[in-house]
Amino acid sequence: MTKDKESPIRSCHFVYIVALVFGTIIQFSVESEFVVDMSKTSLLHVPKDLPPKTKVLDLSQNNISELHLSDVSFLSGLKVLRLSHNRIQGLDISIFKFNHDLEYLDLSHNQLQKISCHPITTSLKHLDLSFNDFDALPICKEFGNLTQLNFLGLTAAKLQQLDLLPVAHLHLSCILLDLEDYYMKENKKESLQILNTEKLHLVFHPNSFFSVQVNISVKSLGSLQLTNIKLNDDNCQVLLKFLSGLTGGPTLLNLTLNHMKTTWKCLVKVFQFLWPKPVEYLNIYNLTIVEKIEDEVFTYYKTTLKALKIEDITNEVFIFSQAAVYRLFSEMNILMLTISDTRFIHMLCPQGPSTFKFLNFTQNALTDSVFQNCGTLIRLETLILQKNELKDLFKTSLMTKDMLSLETLDVSWNSLEYDRYNGNCTWAGSIVVLNLSSNALTDSVFRCLPPRIKVLDLHNNRIRSIPKDVTGLGTLQELNLASNSLAHLPGCGIFSSLSILIIDYNSISNPSADFFQSCQKIRSLKAGNNPFQCSCELREFIQSVGQVSSEVVEGWPDSYKCDYPESYKGTPLKDFHVSELSCNTALLIVTIVVPGLVLAVTVTVLCIYLDLPWYLRMVCQWTQTRRRARNVPSEELQRTLQFHAFISYSEHDSAWVKNELVPCLEKENIRICLHERNFVAGKSIVENIINCIEKSYKSIFVLSPNFVQSEWCHYELYFAHHNLFHEGSNNLILILLEPIPQNTIPDRYHKLRALMAQRTYLEWPKEKSKHGLFWANIRAAFNIKLRLVTENDDVKG
């Protein structure tokens, strides 16, 4: 059997196979030992090492020629056994006596000639013995006990009326009867009584003209399928006679003809024969028309036929009247017509008001001229023209203007374009579903849409953006823009009713975080598989996704991954994290500027509180004086030490200094430096202070409340204290003339505070009896005899 021949045959039991086999495999796929697939492995016999727990066993398409009890007896839990397409010649039903759970047994496409009947498990639901070499129908009386049987496949070269009597009482879903090798004695007509089946599938020889003359009677037949029907004008009547016995019952609603090869004249006769019959659905697959095509008379009687479907027509007649073909179909008084994959280049408009509600002309060669100015399709609700040669969307809209009932239009997979920016498209106002996918449409398509559109499919086009000035789309509920070139996630400003948006596989890198706020009615968003740029802008969108229901964002998080930068490529958006500080410019500025301002204010306050500018000024002046001192010639450096002591005091205390302190020291030959007699005219006060301190062995400070209030006294104290550390000696003498409360010392004079707290000072006593001890302590400070350098001394090296 060829592949084309087998495909329609399988349709009879396809649903059952899916429900049983596929369901069983899914059920046991967790443990691989339950499912064993050894098909197409060139086996010569059933393997002996099969897992005992096997539930599903596929040994199809091998070279197995024999079956034995030991092959399957140990598989007590076996449910599905496929042995089709092998070389098995004989079958003993008893080999399955231990397989009590067996439900599916396929032995089709073997070389079976005989069968040994024995009791078989009553759990069997599917038994296929078709496409073998049986002479008579292989029916055992034991089959009558298969009360759960749904599908039965058989083969026979000859038929007898009561062949199926053993199973007549069973309520079967489908019987497949292979009559490829059927032959009939000349002038002898056979009969076959088939009781209680919903569907009957008969397969004839693929290369022989139809000649079967069997009277087959079936009760309650709902569907009839015939495969391999080869006709010409001479034997056409044979088929009609064969069908007359099968189509007379009121329950037959579906008739399917597979692999039909016929003349046009015979095909028209078949239509005419079936027109008054109770058949409601007629399907023809793989139709080949031969010899010639001419106008044929057809009478459109009142019919119960609702739908005619013809798929895959091959026309071997190259010169014919196309109008003869188109007119036959266009005038049919039925509800639904499908003619697909036929390469029809046109279809005529019905001459009068048509009954068509559904038209499907998929994969033909129809152009923009089809149904133009056609005012008779007033009942048409669905029109499918996908995979044709339509090019102009404007003309497509004109085609529909008189289709007053049209609700669904599918023109996908064409070459449609629209570039008429000024022209208005004229659509049927009733269209609510429009499929424009897989065309060549651009942004301008939004200016050519039906006014009441609810569902719009524009995926796989050339759309880059949605114009902001588009109007009239307030009724749109579902929009598919997948596989375009959109760079932004559109809002719902012009789509006020939008609830479903599909926009995956575009060029969206930074979707707006305001989308969900703009689209309050959205209940499904599919925006995955875009080149997302993981940045601060995307962070807000990710946060907004987390705030909606998981059912709203389809494919989250698996289909939403970073594409840029390279370091984040492939990272799911849910795992992309960036700090608030790095994304918020204002916060970043505040974070940097505020601490800086606080630091600046703090430093300023400290500077004011500690009088830092004054200290800086003093350091600068002291540094400049030291620099000038280093630049003095060596002969001047030899005269630097000229005094025993420099006295610093407030002008308010000068009387005590001049009358008490200076006379007392000078009578002990202690040379004193005073500012009023030793400062050099022409030099700055600061420079004179520094020079006097540096030329004196010690510095005496007369402390009093007046001293604290004198800024120049504080300068002298500062430079003397600095010189103390610079020289590494202890040359400060503090005399407390009057008590100084700590709270009266300004905060900026912290050096004075420190000196009074850390160093010992001499306090001038008020009692005269203590003056002697005071002067003794003063003189003790100068008990070291130093050789003072004078202007006449030589330099000692």
Query: What pLDDT does 35 receive?
Result: 93
Identity at 689, one-letter amino acid code: I
Q: Tell me the percentage of the chain whose pLDDT exceeds 70.
A: 84
- Global pTM value: 0.72
End-to-end Cα, the chain, rounded Å: 128
pLDDT at residue 635 tops 80: no
Which is nearest to 553 in space by CA: 501, 477, 490? Answer: 501
Beta-bridge mates of residue 700: 647, 733
Query: What pLDDT does 792 receive?
Result: 41
Query: What pLDDT does 789 receive?
Result: 44
Q: How far apart are CA 148 and CA 333, in angstroms?
A: 42
pLDDT at residue 281 tops 90: yes
Q: How far apart are CA 351 and CA 657, in angstroms?
A: 138
Q: Is the CB of residue 297 less than 8 Å from the CB of residue 274?
A: no
Q: Tell me the percentage of the chain whose pLDDT exceeds 90.
A: 48
Q: Which CATH architecture has domain 642-781?
A: 3-Layer(aba) Sandwich (3.40)
Query: What pLDDT does 168 receive?
Result: 86
Query: What pLDDT does 767 receive?
Result: 81
pLDDT per residue as tens digits for the range 70-79: 999 999 999 9
Q: Which tokens in the block code for residue 742? A: 């700590």
Higher pLDDT, 744 or 325: 325
pLDDT per residue as tens digits for the range 578-616: 766 656 666 657 767 778 788 888 777 776 665 566 456
Q: Which tokens in the block code for residue 767? A: 């009692």
pLDDT at residue 64 tops 60: yes
pLDDT at residue 202 tops 80: yes
Q: What is the average pLDDT value for the chain, to the nearest integer?
A: 84
Query: What pLDDT does 749 receive?
Result: 67
Q: Using 50, 70 and 90 to split pLDDT, how confident is the model at 747? A: low
Query: What pLDDT does 642 receive?
Result: 84
Helices (H), 435-485: none
Q: What is 32-178's CATH number, 3.40.640.10, 3.60.15.10, 1.20.120.1200, 3.80.10.10?
A: 3.80.10.10
Structural domain spans, the chain: 32-178, 200-334, 642-781
Q: Which tokens in the block code for residue 74? A: 């140990």
Query: Tokens 């059997």 map to which residue?
Result: 1
Q: How far apart are CA 256 and CA 28, in angstroms?
A: 36
Least confident of 98-107, 283-292, 342-351, 644-653: 644-653
pLDDT per residue as tens digits for the range 289-341: 999 999 999 999 899 999 999 999 999 988 888 888 999 999 999 999 999 99
Q: How far apart are CA 659 and CA 644, in angstroms?
A: 19
Query: Tokens 């030589």 map to which residue?
Result: 794
pLDDT per residue as tens digits for the range 231-269: 999 999 999 998 988 887 788 899 999 999 999 999 999
Q: Provide the pairing of β-strand 126-128 with 151-155.
A: parallel
φ/ψ region of 603 (left if φ > 0, alpha if ψ in -120 to 50, else beta) reads alpha
pLDDT at residue 29 tops 60: no
Q: Which tokens in the block code for residue 143? A: 């089959």
Q: How far apart are CA 661 and CA 89, in angstroms?
A: 145
pLDDT per residue as tens digits for the range 697-742: 888 888 888 877 777 676 666 666 666 544 445 677 888 888 887 7
pLDDT per residue as tens digits for the range 757-788: 766 778 888 888 778 878 887 777 775 454 44
Identity at 310, one-letter amino acid code: I
Higher pLDDT, 668 or 719: 668
pLDDT at residue 396 tops 90: yes
pLDDT at residue 22 tops 60: no
Higher pLDDT, 182 or 155: 155
Q: Using 50, 70 and 90 to split pLDDT, how confident is the model at 380? A: very high
Higher pLDDT, 750 or 47: 47
Query: What pLDDT does 420 receive?
Result: 76
